[in-house]
Structure 1
Amino acid sequence: MFYAKMLLEQMDTVIHHFDKVKKTDVTKFSISSQHYGFAIEAVAKLMDHFAERKYELAVREGKSIDVIDDVYASRSILGILSLTDLNKHFFERHFVSKSLLFTPLASLKQHVFLRK
């Protein structure tokens, strides 16, 4: 599944590159994230903000390391991650090794839901 998805993305890139009639008035961008409710809400608000403009937005969901790799490889212009005390050092090593900058946007309280 992973390889098929990667090949389809590469095919889209090649088609876009050699397309004779380029869409100059359409802005294309991609955002990568894990499956976070707050990220989906933020993307929905972003879409509302750009409602009057012509754009193509792709939202990529994956594991944390996939989000970092998507931004590093320019598959996405933005990656959304949640840093905790437990994973902060792990992520920081990857950010430094790939020359990426992490900018905190919000501090959120984590919740755990349990069944009775």
Structure 2
Amino acid sequence: MTDPGAEPRTAEELMRSRFDAFRRGDAAWLLRTWHPSTRPAGLDLADDPRWRGLQVVDVEGGGPDATTGVVEFRATFLAEEGGVGVLHERSRFVREDGRWLYVDGRIIESR
């Protein structure tokens, strides 16, 4: 996604934009791109870790013409006790009315 104001064209682009939003503390973008069926009423990112890096492990579907997609990723963060932590998750996405939305994720590993 080259234009930061553009809607993500794929589930992977949305996942990457959400990772960037977590890094910036942009709760508005996270809530806007969260499916209404699973979206929390609010989002407090004050205690979020300092996110450092992202590795996409696998992508199923989620292309520009798809309606569903899964993106598996590993995100690294600075751990409170020092060192680097890892969140490994498989996230589900749907496209409704031409927009990709995050539905939920299954944590595979968090350390």
* TM-score, with length taken from structure 2: 0.26
More strand by share: 2
The higher radius of gyration belongs to 1
More helix by share: 1
* TM-score, with length taken from structure 1: 0.25
